Amino acid sequence: MLGPPTSCFFAALSTRSTLKLNSVLNRLLPPPTHPLTDLTLPTPDVQRLPNGARLHLLANAAQPVARLQVVVPAGKRQEPAPSLAQLTARLLTEGTATRSARQIADEVAFYGAALDCEAGPDRATLTLYCLARHLPTLLPLVHEVLAAPTFPEAELQQMKNRIGQSMRVERQKTSFRASEEFNRQLFGEASPYGGPFDEAALKQRTAQELRAFHAAAYAPASADIFLSGDVAELGAQVAELLGQWQPVSGVVPAVLPTPSLASNYPTGLVQVPVEGSLQASLRVGRRWPALGEAQTPELLLLVKILGGYFGSRLMKNIREDKGFTYGIQASVVSTALVIGTDVKGDSAAATRQEIAYELERLQTELLGDDELETVKNYTLGKLLGETATVFEQADKYRHTILQGLRPDHYQHLVRQTQAATAADLQALARTYLSPADMLVVVAGGEEA
């Protein structure tokens, strides 16, 4: 017959339990990390359709969904008159040769899909999301929207009213006014990146102008079609139907001009009065090297350190230490570095001073090893997290195609980010982050 447990048994049991408990609850010990040394993205299948369009197919059956995007060079760069690109894109789904706007909306809704078209500075993108099994049924609608929109007069007037009302509301916000003036100053009114919204020009646009712009700019030979999701068995159907999309007879596709950007841009302070505003919105920045430049990874890392994540220099100083704002961010948009924040009107001047201080500090002080390692891990971890789904992978691939980047752009970015040193970043800061080279726009608040 066994006797009662001995004290040694209890001691051993207690020791094992304590060790186990400590391993679970000791939050002072960080989990092990492994540096990201490479990033491999799937390689899409690419084929040229009979009409000249390129079809890029990225298949992944993880979820039964599909996304079809048709990208054409039909943005502000190509429009011969203001607002043509935006109106043409928005009106594509508002009526075709055989379907009214209501019929298009009902058909899309019946299949639980989403279909829209938007135009930016450089291009327009028609996007369809749907369950993969419904894609063959919706393809004829997509084809007709692309090839035979009618731009009904009634729908055009309604769209003008909606856009005009929306922009009038936006113009009451200091954040919108600051961004609009910043872009106008940095790029110029004649640039697709800097031209402000013109409601008078919007009202002048006619359906005939939209039809002419569509005929010239929505040419299949200049289109890139990106098909992603559970689409391995659907590529042939997409190629067959969208390969039948033909340009409007007798219309020569528009020649794409390169945006004209003067080498010089204004620097210093520009103030935009906003009557009755207690808030001030700041935009600080300058022209920035294009994405294809050799030092792009290091420059992006430098921007992250300055204001590209929650623990950045600007966030720690202006939000956490000074309490001037809920958030401040530095990012690269198009070919510009933009630092943006909203503060109380009487804090605008002090905020400008602290931004200049952080710019100067990056030029004069070497980064510490811990901060550099933290930002590298954040940058690469975020990049890895942005490739988790097939649509995110397709976004990365589409970015390299439309921006004309090297095929191994993201692998290069990982390698160069890991190899960047504090001295490298300080040298770049001295070249690109001088406060004297910055344009500062303040909308609202008290004038300096």
- 198-238 pLDDT, tens per residue? 999 999 999 999 999 999 999 999 999 999 999 999 999 99
- 247-298 pLDDT, tens per residue? 886 665 555 555 555 568 999 999 999 988 999 999 999 999 988 888 899 9
Where does the pLDDT of residue 104 fall: very low under 50, low under 70, confident under 90, or very high at 90 and above?
A: very high
Residue predicted with more confidence, 9 or 149: 149
Check residue 40 and give its pLDDT. Answer: 86
Question: What would the mean pLDDT of 23-49 be, rounded to a whole number?
Answer: 80
Check residue 251 and give its pLDDT. Answer: 60
% of residues, the chain, pLDDT over 90: 81
% of residues, the chain, pLDDT over 70: 90
Phi first, then psi, for residue 14 (nearest 5°) are -65, -40
Check residue 276 and give its pLDDT. Answer: 86
Which range, of 237-251, 299-313, 395-409, 424-438, averages the lowest pLDDT? 237-251
Residue matched to tokens 């005009």:
164
Q: How far apart are CA 185 and CA 15, in angstroms?
A: 69
The domains spanning 45-242 and 268-444 adopt the same CATH topology: yes
Check residue 13 and give its pLDDT. Answer: 46
Full-model pTM: 0.89
- The token pair that represents 446 in the structure block: 């008290």
Report the 3 state secondary structure along the chain. Answer: CCCCCCHHHHHHHHHHHHHHHHHHHCCCCCCCCCCCCCCCCCCCEEEECCCCCEEEEEECCCCCEEEEEEEECCCCCCCCCCCHHHHHHHHCCCEECCCEHHHHHHHHHHCCCEEEEEECCCCEEEEEEEEHHHHHHHHHHHHHHHHCECCCHHHHHHHHHHHHHHHHHHCCCHHHHHHHHHHHHHHCCCCCCCCCCCHHHHHHCCHHHHHHHHHHHCCHHHCEEEEEECCCCCHHHHHHHHCCCCCCCCCCCCCCCCCCCCCCCCCEEEEECCCCCCEEEEEEEEECCCCCCCCHHHHHHHHHHHHCCCCCHHHHHHHHHCCCCCCEEEEEECCEEEEEEEEEHHHHHHHHHHHHHHHHHHHHCCCCHHHHHHHHHHHHHHHHHCCCCHHHHHHHHHHHHHCCCCCCHHHHHHHHHHHCCHHHHHHHHHHHCCHHHCEEEEEECCCC
Check residue 357 and give its pLDDT. Answer: 98
Residues in contact with 2: Cβ distance below 8 Å, sequence separation at least 6, in sequence order? none
Q: How far apart are CA 100 and CA 431, in angstroms?
A: 56
Check residue 25 and give its pLDDT. Answer: 65
Residue 448: is its pLDDT beyond 80?
no
Check residue 263 and give its pLDDT. Answer: 65
Question: For residues 65 and 113, is the Cβ–Cβ distance under 8 A?
Answer: no
45-242: CATH, from 3.30.830.10, 3.40.50.800, 3.40.640.10, 3.30.43.10: 3.30.830.10
How confident is the prediction for the chain on average, in pLDDT? 91
Check residue 39 and give its pLDDT. Answer: 85
Check residue 5 and give its pLDDT. Answer: 47
Question: For residues 324 and 315, is the Cβ–Cβ distance under 8 A?
Answer: no
Q: Which CATH architecture has domain 268-444?
A: 2-Layer Sandwich (3.30)
Where does the pLDDT of residue 386 fall: very low under 50, low under 70, confident under 90, or very high at 90 and above?
A: very high
The domains of the chain are located at 45-242, 268-444
Residue matched to tokens 């510009």:
336
Residue 107: is its pLDDT beyond 80?
yes
Q: How far apart are CA 341 and CA 441, in angstroms?
A: 11
